[in-house]
Amino acid sequence: MAQVIDGKKWSSVSRQETAQTVELLKAKGVKPGLVVILLGEHPASMSYVRGKDKAATEAGIYSEVIHLPSSTTETALVQLIERLNHDDRFHGILVQLPLPEHINEQSVIAAIAPHKDVDGFHPVNVGALALGISGFVPCTPLGVMKLLEYEGIDVTGKHAVVIGRSNIVGKPMAQLLLSKSATVTICHSKTQNLSAFTRQADLLVAAIGKPCVIKADMIKPQSVVIDVGINRLDGKLCGDVDYASASEVAQFITPVPGGVGPMTIAMLLHNTVLAAQRMAGITTSEVLP
């Protein structure tokens, strides 16, 4: 039976570490601030944004949510972001995705000042990750790396198979695993004979967006299975992995809910504090808890 990677427990550990850093920053006269912009009334997005606001406040971060109607124009949204880029109360700016259809996501992301882009979605930060230089790393894949670190799982030389090529998860996930010297394969919806790849995976990261499609016979025995999927099936939350059968085969597995999801918010707080630290010119060693 696989060992369960408890994302709720580790996110709480990470959030406590962040809260300690916030205290040390405050003692130096810096109060980290985060602003989240939400358009429309998408129930899951509203719930994630509430979670971010609550978690930020609990960590001692100054938090504001700007909730706008879904009819907001792209021009108005970009103008708001440009104003927030110059607002010293906020070290982090996040626009909750997905955005309504009439808005070009890339134009909006590009309007965020790269040094306040705590989502790590701006082309400058995407480039920084590709080059392996300092920037901001997207929260979900960063959360996966943090889970592996907390569990003492070393990926050096291991075959990591990432299923999914989104800008939010798949692509940055592959870059991060590569930066830790894993041998990385990226699979996607057009991959032929997917199970031929997944069965070779020492580490499998599933970010497909389809409920329970990764079955036990697709998993290498004693591997690490990370489920990034969040799907709603018959009113219940489930991942991309068929958890019950997969946990009979894997050595480590993340559950859904309570796996990667909670780490996304913990890493947002981490990135926000990092942004504040960098803007104040404070080195990490000065604020290590």
Site residues (CB under 6 A) for ligand LMY7XDAE?
44, 47-48, 94-97, 119, 139-140, 168, 230, 237, 256-258, 261-262, 264-265
Question: Is residue 52 flagged as an active site residue?
Answer: yes
Question: Is residue 117 flagged as an active site residue?
Answer: no
**Cross-strand bridge partners of residue 94:** 36
Name the residue nearer to ligand LMY7XDAE (CB basis): 198 or 271: 271
List the single partner that 11 binds among Mg ion, ligand LMY7XDAE, none, CB under 5 to 8 Å by kind: none
DSSP 8-state assignment for residue 241? B
List the single partner that 206 binds among Mg ion, ligand LMY7XDAE, none, CB under 5 to 8 Å by kind: none
DSSP 8-state assignment for residue 206? E
How far is CA 153 from its chain centroid? 19
Could you say which of 6, 52, 117, 146 is catalytic?
A: 52
Could you say which of 96, 116, 158, 175 is catalytic?
A: 96
Amino acid at 282: I
List the single partner that 261 binds among ligand LMY7XDAE, Mg ion, none, CB under 5 to 8 Å by kind: ligand LMY7XDAE
Question: Is residue 251 flagged as an active site residue?
Answer: no
At closest approach, how far in Å is the CB of 96 from ligand LMY7XDAE?
5
Could you say which of 6, 53, 117, 119 is catalytic?
A: 119
Q: How many residues bind Mg ion (CB under 5 A)?
A: 1
Reference 288, options 18, 10, 11, 14; nearest CA is 18
Instruction: State the Cα torsion 252-254-255-260 to the nearest 10°.
Output: 170
Contact by Cβ (8 Å): 155, 180: yes
CA pair distance 14, 20, nearest whole angstrom: 10
Name the residue nearer to ligand LMY7XDAE (CB basis): 47 or 106: 47
Binding part of the chain for Mg ion, among 15-23, 30-38, 56-64, 70-78 by CB under 5 A, reads: 56-64
Binding part of the chain for Mg ion, among 19-27, 57-65, 179-187, 263-271 by CB under 5 A, reads: 57-65
Contact by Cβ (8 Å): 270, 52: no
**Residue 61 to residues 35, 121, 174, 224: CA-CA distances in angstroms?**
10, 21, 30, 34
CA pair distance 89, 74, nearest whole angstrom: 24
Which two tokens mark 117?
């882009």
List the single partner that 258 binds among Mg ion, ligand LMY7XDAE, none, CB under 5 to 8 Å by kind: ligand LMY7XDAE
- Is 165 annotated among the ligand-binding residues? yes
Tally of residues, the chain:
289
- Is 230 annotated among the ligand-binding residues? yes
Which two tokens mark 285?
């060693």
At closest approach, how far in Å is the CB of 51 from Mg ion?
13
Q: Which residues are part of a known binding site for NADP(+)?
A: 164-166, 230
List, by residue number, the catalytic residues: 52, 96, 119
**Residues of the shown chain interacting with Mg ion in the complex, contacts defined by CB under 5 A:** 63
